[in-house]
Amino acid sequence: MRTTVGIVGAGPAGLLLARLLDNEGVDSVVLESRDRAYVEQRQRAGILEQGTVDVLRDAGAGDRMDREGLRHDGIELRFGRRRHRIDLPALTGGRSVTVYAQTEVCKDLIALRLEGGGPLLFGARALAVEGAETDRPRVRYLHEGREELLECDYVVGCDGFRGVSREVFPPGAGRVFERTYPFAWLGILADVPPSHDELVYARHDRGFALLSMRSPTVSRLYLQVPGGTDVRAWSDGRIWDELERRLETDDDWRLRRGPVTAKSVTPMRSHVHEPMRHGRLFLAGDAAHIVPPTGAKGLNLAVGDVVTFARALAHLRGTGSAERLDAYSATCLRRVWQAERFSYEMTALLHRDPGATPFEDRIQLARLERITGSRPAEQDLAEGYAGFPLE
């Protein structure tokens, strides 16, 4: 099989890239190792920055998002039993965020791809990317029990942290920057209306807590737990009790409890692979970078990557200049490192390090007091949360 752009991975990055290329009249093939049901059900991110929302709308993939997504004009910080709202539009020139789950983004993009007839192969496991240094890279993959070859002009690896795309880089051709955090998130989905109409980020002496949502009737909540925690050690009642302690306030706010439908533990790490390109292979999304989920940046960074690639390829086709493709890695990494910085600072601001001293605890609280008492400091957080420019 032959195509212009071979896309490895049908998460939101790969699917959105295929849609953007379709709109530019560029053919592509998407290879996904899992089946469609898995892709449409795996729980990941749920917060879309203003830039991501705009991209989905412009790509013709925003109709259901606009009907069902929940626009949020603020977030709430909690510490010392007090509440402080960050007004995003007032601090960012009108930008906001939208709660719309990654599962729903994938469903919308899959439906559009299949309606348009573009090749989207589920159960197609990429084995290797070959010839990245040539003008005819290839992807070897296994599909329906047969080994196949996809010949391309370009390959974009959207296959995540454990995918095969990054293996293409020869020794010494790439550098990794990373940090592993000594804690994790225990997350639950619960069939209960959210206890607040906006996201709540809580710093507590017992650890961080987050009140989020997936819809008006489904809550998504998280607790900071030690790294390596076994989710089976946490009963539903214990989780709700701990959430109640960490989210407590001095007013009449109360946490709503309901049936827990899913539990998981998410490790916390920061990871960046530089560069994000080798020959005609381009890395995008988690294949190139991981952020701790505190700043809600992962999916949004992936969107920025594929938008950058699609625009660069359109520029090449329109002008004959490869300047923007050649600058792909540097362009993406400027935004990636700002998001890494923001996510790191949010994580350090709200989580209690198990080795923290009383002095460090007081510094953390002083930083929160500064943000909630200074408009410039509050604005810096709001601008980072609402999202950095795509280019």
Could you confirm whether 263 is annotated as catalytic? no
Number of Cβ within 10 Å of residue 103's Cβ equals 18
Number of Cβ within 10 Å of residue 122's Cβ equals 17
Could you confirm whether 201 is annotated as catalytic? yes
DSSP-derived secondary structure letter, 322: -
Q: Which of 278, 289, 297, 351 is catalytic?
A: 297
Query: For strand 120-122 and strand 154-157, is the pairing parallel, antiparallel, or unpaired?
Result: unpaired
Q: Which of 12, 72, 141, 278 is catalytic?
A: 72
Whether 351 and 208 have beta carbons less than 8 Å apart is answered as: yes
Q: Which of 100, 222, 328, 385 is catalytic?
A: 385
Return the biggest CA–CA distance within the chain.
65
3-state secondary structure of 324: helix
Could you confirm whether 100 is annotated as catalytic? no
Could you confirm whether 293 is annotated as catalytic? yes
Structure tokens at 26: 């560029």
Could you confirm whether 222 is annotated as catalytic? no
Residues 6+ apart with CB under 8 A from 26: 4, 5, 313, 314, 317
Q: Which of 100, 154, 201, 222 is catalytic?
A: 201
Q: Which of 12, 196, 293, 351 is catalytic?
A: 293
Structure tokens at 173: 């051709």
CA–CA separation, 287 vs 249, rounded Å? 40
Q: Tell me the catalytic residues.
A: 72, 201, 293, 297, 385
